[in-house]
Amino acid sequence: MAESGKKKFFSYNHINDKHKKVDWTIRIGFLVTLLTGYVINMKRYPMEFIWYLEPAVLLIVFIVLSETARAFMEWKYAENRKAYLVTIFHLAFVLFLLFIVIKTDFFWML
């Protein structure tokens, strides 16, 4: 099931069955890690949490893993061999926005 035509900006279609399996593995792994991190951090003192088990950090890792897997599958299996470039630029743009929001305390609103 290869993707044909132009890619919609915020669409999410799997490239093939392999991509679907990889994507769902990443999603389920993210949920398990999120719940495990929540339980671990809730048992610790409030100021002694493990930073890499915080939901925001895990969400950034999930986005990077998911989009990287998508870009790889597009590069390897899509009909349009250059479709992965759109995904990489989209990921870079999202990471840039996250970086700006974090570094400026949400544009000095917090």
Asked if residues 2 and 79 have their Cβ atoms less than 8 Å apart, the reply is yes
pLDDT per residue as tens digits for the range 11-20? 568 888 999 9
- Which tokens sit at 60? 């950034």
Grouping H, G, I as helix, E, B as strand and the rest as coil, residue 9 is coil
pLDDT digits (tens, 9 = 90+) for 45-101: 888 889 899 998 999 999 999 999 999 999 998 888 888 999 999 999 999 998 888
Q: How far apart are CA 95 and CA 105, in angstroms?
A: 15
Angle of helix 83-103 versus helix 55-77 axis, rounded to 10: 160
